[in-house]
Amino acid sequence: MKPLFLIFITHILFLGHLNAQQATIKLVNQERNSSYRGLSVVDDTTVWVSGSNGTVGLSTDAGKNWQWVNPIGYEKTDFRDIEAFDENEALIISAGSPAIILSTHDGGRSWKEVFIDKRPEIFYDGFAFTPKGVGIAFGDAIQGKMPLLKSIDFGRSWKDISANMHFTITEGEAGFAASGTSIYCDNKGTYWIATGGTAANIYSSKDQGDTWQRYSCPIIQGKNSTGPFSVAFYSSKTGIVVGGDYKEDKNKEKNSLLTNDGGKTWFAPETAPAGFKSAVIYLSKKQLISTGTSGTDLSNDGGKNWTSIGKESFNAVQKPKKGRAIFLVGDKGKIANLAL
């Protein structure tokens, strides 16, 4: 007869295995030949996507039908990140030069340019917003300085706060615009930015971008294809980074790290996700989803152990702040939902 605690542990392990087996990723749309990296799930029915070829999509029925609301005149622009507040109001930010932020207040029927930077070397990686409309965007360093923008009005206007970042960025250190999730903020306005390449670091601000701290991140690094591609926090202390080397996407060496002190120190999971991952989210304190070109993985123990639930390539995964829907987007116009 098994001791009670062994029965309990066996039951927990069985539940984790059951969830992984029950997980289904269902393609809901693939009508556009675009690579999607921007994904914003507002609630269980409202989903926005953005990507290459100036493509922006909106669904108000949980992904069954899509309206393509591409901004006119931006047909060659790659919109790597999108932040939506409801079915009418959304922001998109471009990768590369010129750096552009567009805003819509009518469900994408019209778009307004609210920011532009025409410097040839400018490259923004993404932005993140609090529920009260405070947002920060960050980009790759220019002459050792990280470009930073801040909005306090849901992205209607932007202020350059680059001078608030006093750290010199290492040559070859940069962010990754792979999923719009290399920057993360919580509801209180604490921000985390993950950089990789020649050096991997976490930049954190507890005061909405006024002051910053820098912490070393011991994930795989050293090449322009390596580092943390996504950062997420369940609380001000509990967080995760995932990434790896996108040029060797089956390699899972040092591709995921966990923190219990807000990003100051990091430790490796017991079982790493399978290969390169470009996005990670918390579904609960214990349950997480990560995805990338190597497939999609599930953790039922706070990121300590991971199980593959799908081999197909995706770039981003998101869920609403209030709701249960989980969506994924990838190349070749792939939009999918995940049921657990």
* Rounded Cα–Cα distance for residues 264 and 244 (Å): 20
Q: How many residues does the chain have?
A: 340
DSSP code, position 145 = B
Say whether pLDDT at 7 is over 60.
Answer: no
Q: What is the pLDDT of residue 330?
A: 98
| Confidence band for 19, pLDDT divided at 50, 70 and 90 | low
Rounded to two decimals, what is the model's pTM?
Answer: 0.94
Top pLDDT among 17 and 240 is at 240
User: What proportion of the chain, given as a percentage, has pLDDT over 70?
Assistant: 94
List phi, psi (to 5°) of 56: -135, 130
Of 296, 275, 292, 170, the C-alpha closest to 224 is 170
- Cα separation, 66 vs 8, in Å, equals 45
The Cα 190–Cα 239 span in angstroms is 12
- Give the pLDDT confidence score for residue 22 in this predicted structure: 86
pLDDT at residue 13 in the model:
36
**Alpha carbons 252 and 170: distance in angstroms, whole number:** 25
For residue 52, report the phi and psi dihedrals to the nearest 5 degrees.
-75, 170
CA distances from 311 to 23, 43, 279, 294, 314 (A): 12, 26, 15, 6, 9
Tokens 């430790």, residue located: 267
H or E, element range at 14? helix 4-22
| Separation between Cα atoms, residue 236 and residue 132, nearest integer Å | 18
Output the pLDDT for position 20. Answer: 73
Instruction: Dig out the tokens for 29 from the structure.
Output: 């749309």
Residue with tokens 């960025």: 169
pLDDT in tens, 37-66: 999 999 999 999 999 999 999 999 999 999
